[in-house]
Amino acid sequence: MPRSNRPKNNRSRGRGREEPEALDMDRLTTGFRRTESKRGYTYTVQPISEKNAQKTYTCPGCHLSVDVGVAHLVAWRNDGIMGEERDVSERRHWHKHCWRIY
């Protein structure tokens, strides 16, 4: 007779298991922070959703405004010689198209 690997009762089922972490739907729909290389530098790129776009910025690619409610990207160098804090303080908000063609 073949051996069964199932537990004999339901009490042992689920012991030691943690509840799965809730999914952050906003993060899933906007994308994740990532690293990209452009023009010999390494950048950290963070997508910003329409919902989280609360201020107006000037895109360094086209010098036009990135308006409130417009999905865009924030990019900053992560290999600068002055350190991570300085790199983050010099982050810029880009239109997605402008960053793609940069």
Residue 8 lies in a domain: no
Q: What is the pTM of this model?
A: 0.69
- Note whether 77 and 43 are within 8 A (CB): yes
pLDDT tens per residue across span 43-58:
999 999 999 999 999 9
Count other C-beta atoms under 10 Å from residue 53's C-beta: 17
- Note whether 91 and 59 are within 8 A (CB): no
Per the structure, the count of domains in the chain is 1
Confidence of residue 8 (pLDDT cuts 50, 70, 90): low
Residue 65 lies in a domain: yes
Residue 53 lies in a domain: yes
Domain limits for position 64: 25-101
CA dihedral for 47, 49, 53, 58, sign (positive or negative): positive
Residue 59 lies in a domain: yes
Residue 72 lies in a domain: yes
